[in-house]
Amino acid sequence: MMDGATFSPAANTANTVDAEEPKRLNRRQAAKVRTRQRVFDSAETLFKDVGFERATIRAIAKGAGMSTGAVFANFEDKTALYVAVFGHPPLTPEQGRELVVALRRSHDMLEAFADEEGVPELLASIKAALPPLPVKAAADA
């Protein structure tokens, strides 16, 4: 028989297997995780190389070495896959243009605060995210 001084269920719950290490997957679960990751990696590469519109489920599946069924078994559609990869839905061309304009304006405004803590890093991030200006537009600016 144990008393509260030697056995404390509340204190012992933090030492359960689930709390100390992640749950182990069986072979089928592990295979599903690997398949999902291969699809994810293929989609990420293809979206970066050709963009959302030109990327196809068939090309994503081919890049992963899988069937299109494997893609659809893991992701509802191309948009869901894009969201899984990038964390947001794909932008329309209009949204992309508006975002570039907003980032350029933000960059220009933040330059006045370039000596403030964290601002140089923010300016560098904005500059890295922006596409380069065309040569003619850069000369006009």
**Tens of pLDDT along 81-131?**
999 999 999 998 899 899 999 999 999 999 999 899 999 999 999 888 888
**Encoded tokens for 11:** 């204190």
Q: Tell me, what's the pLDDT at 137? A: 57
Cβ atoms < 10 Å from Cβ of 46 = 21
Reported pTM: 0.63
The residue with greater pLDDT, 63 or 130, is: 63
Domain 24-86 listed as CATH 1.10.10.60 = yes
Between CA 137 and CA 69, with CA 88 as vertex, the angle to 5 degrees is 120
Residue 13: pLDDT over 90: no
Query: Does position 44 have pLDDT exceeding 70, yes or no?
Result: yes
Of 123, 46, 132, 58, nearest to 90 by C-alpha is 46
Confidence of residue 133 (pLDDT cuts 50, 70, 90): confident
CATH 1.10.10.60 residue spans of the chain: 24-86
Residue 20 pLDDT grade (very low, low, confident, very high; cuts 50, 70, 90):
low
Q: How many CB atoms lie within 10 A of CB 71?
A: 23
Percentage of the chain lying above the pLDDT 70 cut: 80
Measuring CA to CA, how many Å separate 92 from each of 55, 84, 103, 104?
Answer: 15, 18, 16, 18
